[in-house]
Amino acid sequence: MKMLEALEDRVNQLVNLSIELGKQKKNLEKVTGELKAEIESLKSENVQLAEDNAFFSSKLKALEAALESDSKELSSLTEEKSLAKLVVDDLIKSIDALMESEDLR
């Protein structure tokens, strides 16, 4: 009789354990479903961020090229400005020399 009671207790423990494992399985399936949904959301977000990154990389390259072009143009204009100053200085000196020679006559 004692062995039958022990066996019955063991069966009850296994039934309770089975019920508890069933609950845990349902919870794990719920969490797994939530994680799968989050993974899909993150994949979608990752795709969007990759597209944004490509767009902004392209935009950055275009801006860098424009900056380089503008820098070259600024350098060229600075050289022209220096040359124009030299020409104007020479012109002023020539005019002064001409006026002095006129004054000496």
pLDDT digits (tens, 9 = 90+) for 65-96: 999 999 999 999 999 999 999 999 999 999 99
pTM of the model: 0.57
On the question of pLDDT at 104 being above 80, the answer is: no
Cα angle 52, 66, 58; round to 5: 20
Residue 88, pLDDT score: 96
Position 4: which residue type?
L
Q: What is the mean pLDDT of residues 47-76?
A: 97
Using the 8-state DSSP alphabet, how is residue 105 labeled?
-
Q: What is the mean pLDDT of residues 41-69?
A: 97
